[in-house]
Chain A
């Protein structure tokens, strides 16, 4: 089948971009969406044109590299799917599609469909962890964890950090991403010691990085390829508000021996 693609082409972070129209006449229904762009890129290369830059790595929906907008929807029209796992059998011969990078102030466009999502790493570095040095852990079974808690923590931890939630949000909020990490650790006993600090620091960092705040639109949950739920955002709000009362940056008064 034939697919018509209008793709955002932008040379680099400083240049202005524009939509360019391409036709891919030999699309097979078993191809993935990215394999279709591979075919287009091989063709462009043979013609001496610059291939379309897009981010991808594992191509099995887990690394979180890939992602762009297809007709205004992050990762395209299929629910619960990354674009690398979106197959062409969901499209019709002659379909015309518009591909754009994820757009947000905190995600500068590097080239074509690629954006810089390093703000996510800086948010995790602000507190998205349990402080436990290698070697200091007790036996794995010393801390029983309710099966249901482990399952709920896993639901939140399934986030792949692709950024679709930010791209779909009218406020370009990273709340679903941030709350997924806050929830994952807040639901487990290991995460309790730093729970307040984590919520406070991660939420503050999110704002500093230029992401907006949540207004309960719910777009993020609808486009999340891993089905991360907005109830996590409610948990984040609660932890953040609580930490505003209970958390203080550590005192510098030292003096131990």
Chain B
């Protein structure tokens, strides 16, 4: 059955849509707000800001995170900054320009109305965070400082050294703890969502596992918000935290929430290259480094000389050569692909030729070591700690790595999924970044969704339903609890010969090889054969030690990998059908003469919206057509 997708985009000029929507939304009066309970899963920028803001409004909020405290959420690792159309630099920025840059950066695969709203509320986010005491970088006169990021020709990125994500998250965590103290938010630590409970067609609660004790518990509510982040760990190696997982959104998908553009993944150009098979994750070096660092490879193939021994004339600054207008600050998908091309051609540096140089010597000469240290000191330290090399004296060696997923659960303009009462925020939804996210826009979107969108749209939803009515004793809760416990027991009963990580690594290799930076029909078809094989072996031969009723980290990973083994297949399926290249989705068959992504707007100017059809059935591909009334469809050019 094809889904009826209603994006609920308000009518009227784009500048007025959000104001109009806010005015038309139903309100819940203050005395009634306390009768409603809202579950928020995830405590990062999106979930934390949502839980805090909903608590401030007077709703009863139950907030869940799998870590030991909400302040650990992976938003904390974002380094470079957060965009906002403040135009404090007087350099020509505006809400319209941020909107335009984001739609263009996303290669015309995002919804215009959502992106416009994001640009509009971006300015409020900065104000809110400053008021919370987020220590943003300042100029000597006391005003806020900005830096530049990829895909933009204005300076609109606000930052707190190389720890912007940390500081924004702490601001939001403190707001959340304030609501905990006020009794409006109840926080559940070390709780992992195992399933969403749907009663009479509405999301009415969740079933979780207490990771410290193993207890499986039910929680009922009037609405559920998922803000559980992205699924980059399907590739095994990524810049995500080890615990980042897709279980919440994947299990919601299997309960009827449609999945938008699963194949849209972002490969970040500047990460520290892999050093061995034992490698557990990849570390990002902030995009902000491209403000002052120049990317190059030797002009000679397989050049074995050290970086400093290669004279200026024998270096190829390939981004500056190919994209003179944006140079080292072209968008991420373009910079990553360009690195892959030079390495594939044999110009790469370091072990296996999988690396390019990011060189600061020019900037150090021009600005002095002190300035560079002030801007990027902590990033240089991270680099030195991991590699043992000093980036002040030799160029960094970097290579692209999986970083972010633009795809996610489909949501309408109100951030509601195809299941009524189930809202999806931040990286977990598919909404604002199209086929490629611009740097410093993830923090913006997470906080926009949580602080400034969901407080309105949640009220609108709750105003139309009666509070309460079901509790944890409802038969559906009992049935779901039984089902998830069954899966846990099954995982523990296999006692096979391979570890959970063995399977995860195997899946990751297939995904990186065939569904990574370059994709083609033959490779994707191969992956679609391999993944079900790996999955089948997983359920016969995985070894999950320990038991159910205890702290069991192997069991936690096993459940997450089981979901990745299904999600990976959907990503390949989506990538195979999308016979065009756009943003981070690069199909090798569809490129321009000079190797750029070639969109097919005739056939693919839409979001692919996947609907679960059952365990052994092929999922159904629905589409949401995208209309571009304001930003005209053109071939992206950063030249």
Question: Is there contact, CB below 8 Å, between A124 and B173?
Answer: yes
Q: Is the CB of B554 within 8 A of A61?
A: no
Chain A proximity of B491: nearest CB distance (Å): 13
Interchain CB contact (< 8 A) of A65 among B72, B177, B284, B455: B72
B128:A62 contact, CB within 8 angstroms: no
CB distance from A99 to the nearest CB of B (A): 16
By beta carbon, the residue of chain A nearest B69 is A121
Chain B 398-450 residues near chain A, CB threshold 8 A: none
User: Is there contact, CB below 8 Å, between A110 and B551?
Assistant: yes
**A-side contacts of B279, CB under 8 Å:** 35
A132 neighbours in B (Cβ, 8 Å): 128, 131-132, 175
Contact of B127 with A129 in the complex, beta carbons under 8 Å:
no
User: Are the CB atoms of B553 and A53 closer together than 8 Å?
Assistant: yes
Partner among A117, A135, A141 whose Cβ is within 8 Å of the Cβ of B88: A141
Let me know if A150 and B283 touch, CB within 8 A: no
**CB atoms of A87 and B56 under 8 A apart:** no
Q: For the complex, what is the distance from the CA of A222 to the CA of B124, rounded to whole Å?
A: 39
Residue A138, interface by CB 8 Å = yes
Selected from A39, A51, A129, the residue in CB contact (under 8 A) with B554 is A51
**Which among A42-50, A69-77, A207-215, A236-244 touches the partner chain?**
A42-50
How many Å lie between the Cα of A161 and that of B132 in the bound state?
Answer: 19
Assess whether B128 is in contact with A65, with CB atoms less than 8 Å apart: no
Contact of A144 among B49, B142, B160, B554 (CB under 8 A): B142
Contact: A140 with B127, CB < 8 Å? yes
Interface centre among B180, B212, B280 (most CB of A within 10 A): B280
| A131 in the interface (beta carbon within 8 A) | yes
A134 touching B133 in the complex, CB below 8 Å, given contacts A58-B74, A85-B386, A110-B551: no
Does A32 lie at the interface of the complex (its beta carbon under 8 Å from any beta carbon of B)? Answer: yes
Q: Is B451 an interface residue (CB 8 A)?
A: yes
Instruction: Please tell me if the beta carbons of A154 and B128 are within 8 angstroms of each other in the complex.
Output: no
B72 engages A63 (CB within 8 Å): yes
B124 touches which of A32, A56, A131, A135 (Cβ 8 Å): A135
What is the bound-complex CA distance between A104 and B70, given in angstroms?
A: 21
Q: Which of B107-115, B161-169, B315-323, B562-570 contacts A (4 or more CB under 8 A)?
A: B161-169
* A145 in contact with B178 (CB, 8 Å): no
CB of A79 to closest CB in B, whole Å? 11
Q: Is the CB of B280 within 8 A of A45?
A: no
How far does the Cβ of B277 sit from chain A's closest Cβ, in whole Å?
9
> Considering the chains assembled together, what is the distance between the CA atoms of A247 and B137 in angstroms?
32
User: Quick one: CB contact mask for B540-571 with A, threshold 8 Å, 1 for yes?
Assistant: 00010110001101100000000000000000
Q: Which of A1-9, A167-175, A182-190, A248-256 contacts B (4 or more CB under 8 A)?
A: A182-190
Q: Within 8 Å of chain A (Cβ to Cβ): is B309?
A: no
B175 & A129 in contact (Cβ 8 Å cutoff): yes
Per the bound structure, the CA–CA distance linking A48 and B139 in Å amounts to 58
Give bound CA distance, A117 to B189, whole Å.
11
Contacts of A185 in B (CB 8 A): 133
Contact with B along A201-244 (1 / 0, CB 8 A): 00000000000000000000000000000000000000000000
| A143 in the interface (beta carbon within 8 A) | yes
Mask: chain B, 275-305; 1 = CB below 8 Å from A; 0 = not: 1101111011000000000000000000000
Which residues of the partner chain B approach A85 to less than 8 Å between Cβ atoms? 382, 385-386
A134 touches B170 (CB 8 A): no
* Minimum distance in angstroms from B492 CB to a CB of chain A: 13
Most A CB within 10 A of own CB, among B86, B166, B189: B166
* C-alpha spacing A151/B167, complex, angstroms: 13
> Are A140 and B72 also in contact (CB < 8 A) when A57-B243, A60-B382, A132-B132 are?
no
Q: How far is the CB of A25 from chain B (nearest CB, A)?
A: 13
Total contacts A-B at CB 8 Å: 216
Which residues of chain B are within 8 angstroms of A58 by Cβ–Cβ distance?
72, 74, 76-77, 241-242
**When the two chains form their complex, are residues A134 and B189 in contact, meaning their CB atoms are under 8 A apart?**
no
Q: Given that A124-B177, A134-B52 are contacting pairs, would A110 and B212 also be in contact in the complex, using a CB cutoff of 8 Å?
A: yes
Flag if A63 contacts B174 (CB, 8 Å).
Answer: no
Task: Verify A188–B543 contact, CB threshold 8 A.
Answer: no
Residue of B at shortest CB range from A161?
B71
Q: Are B545 and A144 in contact (CB-based, < 8 A)?
A: no
Q: Which residues of B contact A158 (CB under 8 A)?
A: 163, 166
Given contacts A35-B279, A85-B382, contact A140 B126 (CB under 8 A): yes
Q: Are A124 and B68 in contact (CB-based, < 8 A)?
A: no
Q: Does B452 contact A (CB under 8 A)?
A: yes
Known: A45-B543, A118-B189. A59 touches B177 (CB 8 A): no
Chain B residue numbers with a CB within 8 Å of A129 are: 132-133, 174-175, 177-178
Per a CB cutoff under 8 Å, which of B170, B451, B554 touches A45? Answer: B554
> Which of B133, B163, B382 touches A130 (beta carbons < 8 Å)?
B133
Quick check: is B91 within 8 A (CB to CB) of the other chain? no
Q: Which single residue of chain A is at the shortest CB-CB distance from B180?
A: A125
**Set A31, A53, A89, A150: member contacting B388, Cβ < 8 A:** A89
In the bound complex, residues from chain A placing their C-beta under 8 Å from that of B144 are 140-141
Assuming the contacts A51-B553, A135-B124, A141-B143, asked whether A118 and B68 have C-beta atoms less than 8 A apart, the reply is yes
Determine if A55 is an interface residue (Cβ-Cβ < 8 Å): yes
Central interface residue in A12, A61, A120, by most chain B CB within 10 Å: A61
Q: Report the Cα distance A191→B132, complex, angstroms.
A: 8
Which of A38, A63, A134 interacts with B128 by CB under 8 Å? A134
Interface flags for A18-49 (1: CB within 8 Å of B; 0: not) read 00000000001011101100110010011011
Q: A116-B68, A118-B189 are in contact. Are A188 and B135 (CB under 8 A)?
A: yes
Residues of A within 8 A of B130 (CB): 137, 140, 143, 190
Known: A55-B68, A146-B142. 16 other contacts (CB 8 A): A35-B278, A39-B278, A51-B545, A58-B74, A59-B281, A60-B77, A62-B163, A128-B177, A133-B53, A134-B175, A140-B86, A140-B144, A144-B142, A147-B140, A150-B138, A154-B161
29 pairs of residues in contact across A and B, judged by CB atoms under 8 Å: A45-B554, A46-B499, A48-B543, A51-B545, A51-B553, A55-B68, A58-B74, A60-B382, A61-B385, A63-B72, A81-B385, A89-B388, A116-B68, A118-B189, A121-B177, A125-B180, A127-B181, A129-B175, A134-B52, A134-B452, A134-B455, A135-B124, A137-B131, A140-B144, A146-B138, A147-B140, A157-B167, A188-B135, A190-B132
Which A residues contact B (CB, under 8 angstroms)?
A: 11-12, 28, 30-32, 34-35, 38-39, 42, 45-46, 48-51, 53, 55-65, 80-81, 85, 87, 89, 110-111, 114, 116-118, 120-121, 124-141, 143-147, 150-151, 153-154, 157-158, 160-161, 184-185, 188, 190-191
Give me the interface of B with A, judged by CB distance under 8 Å.
49, 52-53, 56, 67-72, 74, 76-77, 86, 88, 124, 126-133, 135-144, 160-161, 163, 165-167, 170, 173-175, 177-178, 180-181, 187, 189, 212, 241-243, 275-276, 278-281, 283-284, 381-382, 385-386, 388, 451-452, 455, 497, 499, 501-502, 543, 545-546, 550-551, 553-554
